[in-house]
Structure 1
């Protein structure tokens, strides 16, 4: 089965066949968190999406160098190069060293990613660990004539850059429109142009995080770190650059300009962006009280939640939408995801002990259908990492696996090759590609409860109380559980 992977490229706004620069190898850079506060759910959604992409590329056999940075310096409160550094501000409020803030929130971020079963990146560099590289990058941009220094600060000259390059290539906007929609420079502003952005910022004496440079004591601009680190670990040009959609208009636009200015190349061939989260149709916002921290979702301790949900249910919920789609939180939507996840999880649990019956005459139609569902898992993921369609394909395989596990159908009706492919495909995609786990809290308790209910039903049947027996069976079916009485006199159950 030969298939090609197609990826939506934000830069060209087209779905394109994925062709890595180095056959068999993929370089991927994803903008990581700024570690000054608890990781928010938008971050989780983004990093779970790129975990899916990372996992699938590995599954296809690519050797992937996945770089995800930690922003621990240089990210100001405003994209306009004003305000305090977010980490420094937090450190002042809590009367701690900035690196104490960085350490605490970096550890918390890693814990949350581990809870969601996200694989760690190949390299996780920090801004403070690459000050030298950032200074060298500023020197290169100055030497190329695309930057200027003013009293210890260095700014990128957007209008000069735009004379030979399309500054709005990623966000699809024209320079004139951006200039018209940007505030007029104040009399105290050092910048020559309204769109110019800081590469290096002169530090005030009280600024907690500052380093020596050719232009005096200062700190790097936020956009600089990603260019410096992607260049160092992936080269001047690599395959995939990603992050949240909110990074497109400024951060990623400026990264492209920096890279072209110093290296003459757009840094990445494919730009991938995740969409935002909403709650009951409204954009998530702290001020509206409709945003969630991960632990609030797990415990249910939030005014808008009626109960807590497991990490795998939340991961599954995210996977039910394309990474490019808006994800809307509601209790009903997460409840539906929980039911669907538990159904597929029960199937995954049965695979280890599932054995094929003795081969009979092959039902060619069934054999073809099962192979088709296996193919669909790949077709779906190859269509721009379409996880919702992949889950549909797994659901179709799940129905056959459950029917064989419950002896509703004879597994000898398909070839041994198809039987093993069915098991392997389900296992590979459920665990390795989608990154799901069978949660202990769900497995044992549910099975023990179902066995008790089956025992009560069997006692009712033995006493010829068929009305109660049927009532139990139909009641379970109405809430998503189907009982199957086998020829051997036993009863199995599956989620439906």
Structure 2
């Protein structure tokens, strides 16, 4: 079947068929981390959601340029364009260079992304690496009358932009009411309107992250970097821009305004946003004490956790919820995800070992052939429906029943036609591993160690040393493994 991916476009508020601007090339920009704090589970969910999209687009045959930035300057303590730079503040407290802070948290971010098996982006630019381009865009906005300079700082005029275009189209804000309400604040700061946002800020005496510009020694505003870097690497207009739902306003709204004002065209065709995480039904927050870092989850070192949960358990749990829905993290949910993940890995092991003998003469099982092809189609229907990974996973488990039937000798591989057999194996392995990014978690040389244990188990069973048999079973169970006594052999599987 020809695959047609439909994505929910936050801008148009509907699911639309994905049609890239310049096929087969796809330009995708995702707002990356602000590296002043440890990556949290909400970050992991957002970047995993876009990792799935990256993987699936490549699976469909597109050439994807995935750009994910690193914010290493301009994110202020007070989001109203005031206060210290968050990275600079930490650098002062720890008596370090700001770039040491940037390097530490960037390394931590990359480590978490690797452990969760998120692919690296095609390009990972930094804000500080593109200061010249940011200054250039500010100049362009000033020439076009969309920005103004006050005391060495430059601000974007939301009112002038709104007169010519429409500010608030992504978030659905009623901008006339917001602008009217801002008049009461006129004169309380140097902005013409409180709703205006900074493109360049003059550095005060204690601000340590600063660069020269035509207007002052200072630093760029937070919103500007993404407009500049997406434009540089993907062009004036590109296919997909996304991030967490919390970035929709004001960050992405400001990006639209900057890009449209500078280039005269809307910068993005499809806007995508991943929803938030909750912990045991509550919003994740440091003040509530329920903010769990990935390393705390992987080690179990948090008072809300009953045990440690592996990176693939977390990834699988995230795939069971649609990226646009709120996802709740709880011990029950993670334990269920761990069990289901191990079950799927058993299916993956079986699928990789199954063989088809084309010389065998066996009557074809038309019912099984029809069922398998229907299951494959259902997996793709799920992924094509705005990346509904939960539906795709349900299809994989239905397909695993067929794989188990062949593994147990209840269904002969040759009772399927070769194309159906190949389609079944290819879909199960490729979707599980290449698209969903699920990999088998096992220590090195696990297979050899288990073979030795199973040989010992077999010997004990033949000698009717059932106490030893029970001990071996119990020890393997502690490792998350179980022994399978087959008719003609003994094998192992992940404990379900």
Q: Normalized against structure 2, the TM-score is what?
A: 0.92
Q: Structure 1 pair 195/370, CA: closer, same or farther in 2 (3 Å)?
A: same
Q: Distance in 2 between matches of 1:404 and 1:174?
A: 60
2:45: which partner in 1?
A: 45
The question of 1:490 aligning with 2:489 is answered yes
Note closer, same or farther for the CA distance 1:449–1:304 as it changes in structure 2 (3 Å cut): farther
- Aligned equivalents of 1:421, 1:26: Cα separation in 2: 27
1:96-136 C-alpha deviation (Å, 9 max, x unpaired):
11111111111111111111111110100000000000001
Give CA deviations for 1:425-450 in whole Å, capped at 9, x if unaligned: 11111110001101114965996699
* 8 Å contact from structure 2 (residues 278, 327) kept in 1: yes
**Count of aligned residue pairs for this structure pair:** 483
For residue 418 of structure 1, what is the aligned residue in structure 2? 420
Unaligned runs of 5+ in 2: none
Cα RMSD after superposing both structures: 2.6
Q: 1:276 to 1:445 in 2, by over 3 A?
A: farther
After superposition, give the CA deviation of every residue in 1:197-251 in whole Å (9 maximum; x if it has no partner).
Answer: 0011011132111111111111100000000000100001000000000000100
- Residue 351 of structure 1 deviates from its aligned partner by 2.5
1:399 to 398, 401, 410: 401
1:483 is displaced (CA, Å) by 5.1
The CA distance in 1 between the partners of 2:384 and 2:369, in whole Å, is 23
The Cα of 1:387 is off from its aligned counterpart by 0.7
> Structure 1 residue 21 and structure 2 residue 14: aligned?
no
Q: Which shifted more, 203-212 or 323-332?
A: 203-212
- In 2, the alpha carbon distance for the partners of 1:51 and 1:382 equals 15
C-alpha displacement of 1:459:
5.4
Return the offset for 1:176.
2.8
The aligned counterpart of 1:218 is 218
Matched, 1:141 2:141: yes
Provide TM-score, normalisation by structure 1: 0.92
**C-alpha separation in 1, matches of 2:81 and 2:111:** 31
Q: What is the DSSP-based 3-state SS (H/G/I as helix, E as strand, rest coil) of the residue aligned with 1:380?
A: helix
The C-alpha deviation readout for 1:366-385, integer Å capped at 9, x for no partner, is: 01111111222211111111
What is the rounded CA distance, in whole Å, between the counterparts of 2:452 and 2:313 in structure 1? 20
Change (3 A) 1:260 1:313: same
Provide closer, same or farther for how the CA distance between residues 359 and 9 of structure 1 changes in structure 2, counting only shifts above 3 A. farther
Shift of 1:188: 4.0
- Name the residue aligned to 2:166: 166
Q: Give 1:40 shift.
A: 1.0
SS at match of 2:78: coil
Contact 2:186 2:193 (8 Å CA) reproduced: no
- Segment drifting more, 328-337 vs 371-380: 371-380
Q: 1:457 to 1:408 in 2, by over 3 A?
A: farther
Q: Kindly tell me: are residues 282 and 452 of structure 1, through their superposed partners in 2, closer, same or farther at Cα, counting changes over 3 Å?
A: farther
- For 1:124-203, list aligned pairs within 5 A: 124-179=124-179, 184-185=184-185, 187-203=187-203
Q: CA deviation at 1:3?
A: 2.5
Q: Which residue of 2 aligns with 1:56?
A: 56
C-alpha separation between the residues in 2 aligned to 1:91 and 1:431?
40
Q: CA deviation at 1:164?
A: 2.1
2:111 corresponds to = 111
Give SS of 1:162's match.
Answer: helix
What SS does the corresponding residue of 2:251 show, helix, strand or coil? helix
Match of 1:283 in 2: 283
State the shift of 1:187 in Å.
4.2
**Does the Cα contact within 8 Å between 2:454 and 2:490 map onto a contact in 1?**
no
1:273 is matched with 273
**Corresponding position: 1:375 with 2:362:** no
